[in-house]
Amino acid sequence: MDDKSSISFIHFSDTHIGNHKSFQLYKRNTFETSAKLINHINKTGAAADFVIHSGDIVNSPDDDSIQLAKSLFSKLIKPSYFINGNHDTPSMVENLQTGFSESIANAGVSRFFTLNNIIFLILDTQGPREIDPHGVFSEKQEKALSDFLSRSTGREIVLFCHFPPVSIDSPWVDRDMLMINGDRLHKLLVQSEARILGVFFGHIHHHFTELRDGILYTSAPSPFSRFSILPTDQQVRIESGIPISFNYVTISRDSVRVKLITIEENNFSQNQ
């Protein structure tokens, strides 16, 4: 780390904005829950350096949904970064970003930005429709990331992606939702374990943390729904009466701290 003693970011995921404000998914209004989340972040997130949305921004990437998402997420005061989820398209995600400082051209690794000498790498692992809702870590990306890790020796790296790269000990997730070749990504990261500060993802609509071979994997919740991820869950079970929540991540010289923050909705006035 360079000049600052720590970097903080707010991580949330899977907002599934629909084509109108009253759109519901799993019996919950996705626009309203996201609006409350954004309002809360703008009021309380002053110390954060940026916001990251790890994908499934919209439920379906039609023009009306994209415009509604754009109008909503443009209200975020902090620099905001977005990952392409399996419900999104790369071009709409490009349009939502509010400030990349650098990019990797023709490398198959989407984008990165640097803060405090830390590299924040955003990996787009959306695959063809046939494998949905899996993602895939392609051979091209593996080569590009391997080269990138070689070129950036000595620099600390944070990785963002939509799909879980590793199994999470929940049968339906491990069968249906993982990043294909995520084990290859994991092996690559383990080779640079000392400088990989964490892998942050979404897609499973649930907070999750695992330290595997020295690599920290953490997912952020969805504001409007939660998928059950128990070791006994053979099929997805959806909980929608859940509190709006997000992760608050702080990286300092000696730790990576992840706080699951829950919003008390009664704190909001009628004009949200």
Residues that bind Fe ion (CB under 5 A): 56, 85-86, 203
* Least distance CB 92 / Fe ion (angstroms): 15
* Least distance CB 133 / Fe ion (angstroms): 6
Nearer to Fe ion, 32 or 56 (CB): 56
* Least distance CB 152 / Fe ion (angstroms): 28
* Least distance CB 14 / Fe ion (angstroms): 6
* Least distance CB 156 / Fe ion (angstroms): 27
Nearer to Fe ion, 79 or 165 (CB): 165
Nearer to Fe ion, 172 or 268 (CB): 172
Nearer to Fe ion, 149 or 173 (CB): 173
Give the CB-side neighbour count of residue 142, counting CA atoms within 13 A: 16
In contact, 249 and 231? CB cutoff 8 Å: no
**27, 32, 35, 266 from 270: Cα distances, Å:** 20, 11, 12, 10
* Distance in angstroms (rounded) separating the CA atoms of residues 194 and 208: 22
Residue nearest to Fe ion (CB): 203
Nearer to Fe ion, 45 or 55 (CB): 55
The torsion angles phi and psi of 105, rounded to 5 degrees, stand at: -80, 135
* Distance in angstroms (rounded) separating the CA atoms of residues 23 and 88: 17
- Taking alpha carbons only, the member of 31, 16, 65 closest to residue 205 is 16
* Distance in angstroms (rounded) separating the CA atoms of residues 85 and 195: 26
List of residues 6+ apart from 5 with CB closer than 8 A: 252, 253
